[in-house]
Amino acid sequence: MAELSPPSGVEVLCIGTELLLGNIVNGNARWLSEQLAALGLPHFRQTVVGDNRERLIAEVQAISRRSRVLITTGGLGPTPDDLTTEAIAAAFSTPLVERPEVWDDITAKARSRGREPGAETRRQALLPLGAEVLPNRTGTAPGMIWSPKEQFTVLTFPGVPSEMRSMWQETAVPWFHKSGLSKGVFSSRLLRFWGIGESTLAEQLHDLLDQANPTVAPYAGHGEVKLRVTAHATEEADALRLLDDTEAVLRQRTGKLCFGCDDQSLACVVLEQLRQRQQTLSVAESCTGGGLGAELTAIPGSSDVLLGGVIAYSNAIKETLLGIAPASLEQFGAVSDPVAQAMAEGVRRLTGSDWSMAITGIAGPGGGTEEKPVGLVHIAVAGPDDCSSQPVRLGATRGRDWIRMVSAGEALNRLRLRLMEAG
């Protein structure tokens, strides 16, 4: 009879009927995947189970036979459908016991908000006998770290992303290092690109995508492509050195296509370019309906660069607020290079900004013609010396939201390139 191999790897189990129904996007699984990769932990499976006690028990038991670590999210609240802790205890025939320190913490948090904890909240203080508390500093539902059998440990987290992430960094990461499951140091960096497709970029960098350390993996987004570079070394300084070397090669081979790193969005990069030049910006939008301005104002401190904008959806507003000649609208149509240029110049004149961007297009699903189909967008950039506009054809297949989002990104990228050319 063949020997059974010992459990290995990490599995993620997300709990909640709302996930199965699609009411909530499962962002926790994605985030945990990235964190496990950064720790160098082998991650084999992800599962979603609804709020059903028997199915949850069966899944936990199955995972315990094949994996070394189980990470769960969701089902730790005070309501009857929060079954995670109870089901995990039942899976190993272990009684639940109340932890006084957990109940004291719950009570203190409730009173700090001016209320007394209800009786239903007390069930959150119940943990399996022998489990270690995984503290939750911001919410009331604690997690646990528990080894109900040899070579198997379960870590439970709430489904609230902010609570889960805080608990992960404060408790789980040190636990993985201390347990010896995470070996060495893994450091990652995300390089961001605009103006090139995922397959084209992968083809240009195929030799780097095949290397073992650092690894380079592409990800496609909304008009954007990302390369995650992950280095493994015994010391953090060595891992960072590997990242720096690979990033230098990637930037050298891709040139201006790479616009930023990690959390640097196009809006963030453009605002910083203008801030360094001590120049200001304004926007005029039609089909994006304020989406471009929203991208910019999402960045803290944008008010020292962005003066304002105009959503000129109708031709009447284009004429009265932006000063576009009726003859231009009649001759060229609202979706055209001359009108996009006039919008950019108009909002720049109106606000007194150094630079401006304008977007006018057909986002669909209706309104397109053979000459001007859905997905045709004209984008203009106006600066101290000149104003230029070029169309982009985004097509109709990906829908209205995608067209609007990519149009805003394309406008930001065009301004970024203009600023780089201006020096």
CATH architecture of 10-179: 3-Layer(aba) Sandwich (3.40)
What is the end-to-end Cα distance of the chain in Å, rounded?
73
**Is the pLDDT reported for residue 1 higher than 90?**
no
Contact criterion met (CB below 8 Å) for 129 and 94: yes
Q: With pLDDT > 90 as the criterion, what percentage of the chain qualifies?
A: 85
Stretch 344-358: mean pLDDT: 98
Residue 79: which pLDDT band, with cuts at 50, 70 and 90? confident
pLDDT exceeds cutoff 60 at 394: yes
Q: Which of 40-49, 91-100, 257-266, 335-344 comes out lowest in average pLDDT? A: 40-49
Question: What is the number of residues in the chain?
Answer: 423
Q: Tokens representing 80?
A: 């009857």
- Name which of 405, 408, 399, 337 is nearest 366 in CA terms: 399
CATH class of 266-422: alpha beta
Rounded Cα distance, 201 and 137, in Å = 43
The band of 2, judged by pLDDT with boundaries at 50, 70 and 90, is very low
Query: Look-up: residue for tokens 């379960």?
Result: 154
Global pTM value: 0.79
Question: Cβ(413)–Cβ(266) under 8 Å?
Answer: yes
Give dist(CA 282, CA 306) in Å, integer.
6
Give the angle subtended at the CA of 332 by the CAs of 330 and 334, to the nearest 5°.
Answer: 80
Q: What is the pLDDT of residue 5?
A: 61
Over 50: is that where the pLDDT of 404 sits? yes
Dihedral of alpha carbons 352, 356, 362, 363, sign: negative
SS3 70: strand
Going from N- to C-terminal start, the domains of the chain cover 10-179, 185-261, 266-422
What is the rounded distance in angstroms from the CA atom of residue 191 to the CA atom of residue 203?
A: 17
| Distance separating alpha carbons of residues 266 and 284, to the nearest angstrom | 18
- CA 372 to mean position of chain CA atoms: 34
Task: Give residue 3's pLDDT band: very low, low, confident or very high (50, 70, 90).
Answer: very low
The residue that leads in pLDDT, 7 or 145, is: 145
Q: What is the mean pLDDT of the chain?
A: 94
Options 3.40.50.150, 3.30.70.2860, 1.10.3720.10, 3.10.20.30; CATH for 185-261 is: 3.30.70.2860
**Rg for the chain, CA atoms, rounded:** 27
